[in-house]
């Protein structure tokens, strides 16, 4: 399809480039709903009127031959032709005037006017009518793909409730300042990013992450625009301007996504620019050359064959169904919480041979958690109670992990004379007993005997002593995400090599690597070391041009390697802004299993695209030969063009309804 097809003169937008207009809000969308429904009905009026007149004309051709003849017959079919033919002829003229002559509009215009010239009026009307029906069908499919992406992302409320001087005021979300307090009612969407001010709340995060299970958010935790409050009235402190919220940035990324086209799309666009003039030339040759070769040459017969050839040769099925297939893939990913920043990355996902992953925040939760409690000469519950009481006087993340592991009974324990020893731990009097909680250096400092083998455990260790005697220890580690092992197993089942790179201690990295099952791992890495490792892994794939590497990360220090990889993937929920901006694919709910799902969506999209290419070329090749040989009429030509286009469009939108594991 030609470039002129981007915006037709009747107001339809066939193109997939501007899926979402800047500044669109649900409120703005809702206002012209009635007008939109009227416009939809009016869109079909020309095709319906033309169809009625065509069927009437065919009936008259068969049952009123005594009076239904030229000029009455010609006028009847001209009236039937104009509702569907005039917009196409007008677009053909305007595109030709701009220098783009060989468009589908030109092909259809010449073919149908030629049919009128040889008095094949019904076929001329039918070709244009079915072409228009195909266009309407295509518009509906493109609109559906556009809406599937827009509906997921355009969930920002236009107005929010702000508390000022103790009074609730409804104001425009764009006018709210950082630091303002926003009130969110049950069932209401969050309009801006902020932190939870109330004690707790339950939010539906499906619009951002694709996750259907509501999420509980505690005081001080992040609340993001697009979430929906599911329970009681809550308040939050605004931390980000409206235009800079995570949802706003994602919205902008989707607006830009369709500009980054897959190689298949670019090839088909170039192919159509060469293919269409060749079809026109061949149609002319089919009409003229037989004059020099055939004894009983009739110009009208060979002109008809040339016109059939023109109709069959229109590249609509290829040029519309292929981008539509890619947008279906982008929409399918969005519903699963996976944002592809362009159709090119759908293709690249199918070529991955190595997936490199960061550890903290990607394969692990990025939150310290007590893994084991090993008491010595004391009950485990009592040791936890006393240690939590002492650690409650510290704000260190390790202390928080122990407090979270304990029940609330530690709050009744008396704690006195607490001393924080930098780089060692805590000392204090707990329930009247002298207690130590910290690392091995702390126990050595106070000459407490313990098993030195404990220092070789590849996790953070909090050792305790009560009244000068070793009382046990806690192992604290960053916990692997629930689906990390499954994610790695799925990638390995696809024949993809898995590598983990981390700045954490090598022993900790090894323990996590063995737990989740990656093929290769490296720890104690600085950001520049990660770059070196990724360059090495890419060099190992250089012998195969089709083999690509993806890096999945979430921290600021991951941004350089995300940019270096063939496909950079970011964990969008916890990920840093720099990494999300740099990445090509964003996993919005931070689940590593979505890496394999993204590959599956890419493969399904590519499979459907190539099905459409094969269907279109094979059917057109067969009917082109039949048309050139005089064995195909305009009706077969209509099927080869519009029919195949409609089948390809149906196949393309199918990707939006596929179920992915």
The catalytic site residues sit at: 358
Instruction: Using CA atoms of 545, 550, 551, 554 in order, give the dihedral in degrees to the nearest 10.
Output: 150
DSSP for 134-177, written as a single string: HHHHHHHHHHHHHHHHHHHH----SEEEEEETTEEEEEEGGGPP
Is there a contact between 79 and 50 (Cβ–Cβ < 8 Å)?
A: no
Reference 332, options 607, 647, 565; nearest CA is: 607
Rounded distance, CA 313 to CA 107, Å? Answer: 8
Rounded distance, CA 22 to CA 237, Å? Answer: 27
Strand partners for 217? 201
- H runs (alpha helix) in 395-505: 397-405, 440-445, 484-493
Counting Cα atoms < 13 Å in the Cβ hemisphere of 105 gives 23
Angle in degrees, 0-180, between the axes of helices 593-628 and 316-335, rounded to the nearest 10? 170
Instruction: Using CA atoms of 496, 501, 507, 511 in order, give the dihedral in degrees to the nearest 10.
Output: -40
Is there a contact between 533 and 563 (Cβ–Cβ < 8 Å)?
A: no
Structure tokens at 377: 């000469």
Rounded distance, CA 513 to CA 363, Å? Answer: 9
Is there a contact between 155 and 26 (Cβ–Cβ < 8 Å)?
A: yes
Counting Cα atoms < 13 Å in the Cβ hemisphere of 579 gives 27
- Per-residue b or e along 529-541, where b marks 16 or more CB atoms closer than 10 Å to that residue's CB: ebbebbeebbeeb
Is there a contact between 391 and 402 (Cβ–Cβ < 8 Å)?
A: yes
In order of 44, 137, 253, 261, 331, the CA distances from 144 in angstroms are 17, 11, 20, 19, 10
Structure tokens at 450: 């313990």
Rounded distance, CA 557 to CA 596, Å? Answer: 24
Helix (H) / strand (E) element for 80: namely helix 72-97
| Residues with Cβ within 8 Å of residue 166, at least 6 apart in sequence | none
Number of Cβ atoms within 10 Å of the Cβ of 215: 17
């Amino acid at each position: 399809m030609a470039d002129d097809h981007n915006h037709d003169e009747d107001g339809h937008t066939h193109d997939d480039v501007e899926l979402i207009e800047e500044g669109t809000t649900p409120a703005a969308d809702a206002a012209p709903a009635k007008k939109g429904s009227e416009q939809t009905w009016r869109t079909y009026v020309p095709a319906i009127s033309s169809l009625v007149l065509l069927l009437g004309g065919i009936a008259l051709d068969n049952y009123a031959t005594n009076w239904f003849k030229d000029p009455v017959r010609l006028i009847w079919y001209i009236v039937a032709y104009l509702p569907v033919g005039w917009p196409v002829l007008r677009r053909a003229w305007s595109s030709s005037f701009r220098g783009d002559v060989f468009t589908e509009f030109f092909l259809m215009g010449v073919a149908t006017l030629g049919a009128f010239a040889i008095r094949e009026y019904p076929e001329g009307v039918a070709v244009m009518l079915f072409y228009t029906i195909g266009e309407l069908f295509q518009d509906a499919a493109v609109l559906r793909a556009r809406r599937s992406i827009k509906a997921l992302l355009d969930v920002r409320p236009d107005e929010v409730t702000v508390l000022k001087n103790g009074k609730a005021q409804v104001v425009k979300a764009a006018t709210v300042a950082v630091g303002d307090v926003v009130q969110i009612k049950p069932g209401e969407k969050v309009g801006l990013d902020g932190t939870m001010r109330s004690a707790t709340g339950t939010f539906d995060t499906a619009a951002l992450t694709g996750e259907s299970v509501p999420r509980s958010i505690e005081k001080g935790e992040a609340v993001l625009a697009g979430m929906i409050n599911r329970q009681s009235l809550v308040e939050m402190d605004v931390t980000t301007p409206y235009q800079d919220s995570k949802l706003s940035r994602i919205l902008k990324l989707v607006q830009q996504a369709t500009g980054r086209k897959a190689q298949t799309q670019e090839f088909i666009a170039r192919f159509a620019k060469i293919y269409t003039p060749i079809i026109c030339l061949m149609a002319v040759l089919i009409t003229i050359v037989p004059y020099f070769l055939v004894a009983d040459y009739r110009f009208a017969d060979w002109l008809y064959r040339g016109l059939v050839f023109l109709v069959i040769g229109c590249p609509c099925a290829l040029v519309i169904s292929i981008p539509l297939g890619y947008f279906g893939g982008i929409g399918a990913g969005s519903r699963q919480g996976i944002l592809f920043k362009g159709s090119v990355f759908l293709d690249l996902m199918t070529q991955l041979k190595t997936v490199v992953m960061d550890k903290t925040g990607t394969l692990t939760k990025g939150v310290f958690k007590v893994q084991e409690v090993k008491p010595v000469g004391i009950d485990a519950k009592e040791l936890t109670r006393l240690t939590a009481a002492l650690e409650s006087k510290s704000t260190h993340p390790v202390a928080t992990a122990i407090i979270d592991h304990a029940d609330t009974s530690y709050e009744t324990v008396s704690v006195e004379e607490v001393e924080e020893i930098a780089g060692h731990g805590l000392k204090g009097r707990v329930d009247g007993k002298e207690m130590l909680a910290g690392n091995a250096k702390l126990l050595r400092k106070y000459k407490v005997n313990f098993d030195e083998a404990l220092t070789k455990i590849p996790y953070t260790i909090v050792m305790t002593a009560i009244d000068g005697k070793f009382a046990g220890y806690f192992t604290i580690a960053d916990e692997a995400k629930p689906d990390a092992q499954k994610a790695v197993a799925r990638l390995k089942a696809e024949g993809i090599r898995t590598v983990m790179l981390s700045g954490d201690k090598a022993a900790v990295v090894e323990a996590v690597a063995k737990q989740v099952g990656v093929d290769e791992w490296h720890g104690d890495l600085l950001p520049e070391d990660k770059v070196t490792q990724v360059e090495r892994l890419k060099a190992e794939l250089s012998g195969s041009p089709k083999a690509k590497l993806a890096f999945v990360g979430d921290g600021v220090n991951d941004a350089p390697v995300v940019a270096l990889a063939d496909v950079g993937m970011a964990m969008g929920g916890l990920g840093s802004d720099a990494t999300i901006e740099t990445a090509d694919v964003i996993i919005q709910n931070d689940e590593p299993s979505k890496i394999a799902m993204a590959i599956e969506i890419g493969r399904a999209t590519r499979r459907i695209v190539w099905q459409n290419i094969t269907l279109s070329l094979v059917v057109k090749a067969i009917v082109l030969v039949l048309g050139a040989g005089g064995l195909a009429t305009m009706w077969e030509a209509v099927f080869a063009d519009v029919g195949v286009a409609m089948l390809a469009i149906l196949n393309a939108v199918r990707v939006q309804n596929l179920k992915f594991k």
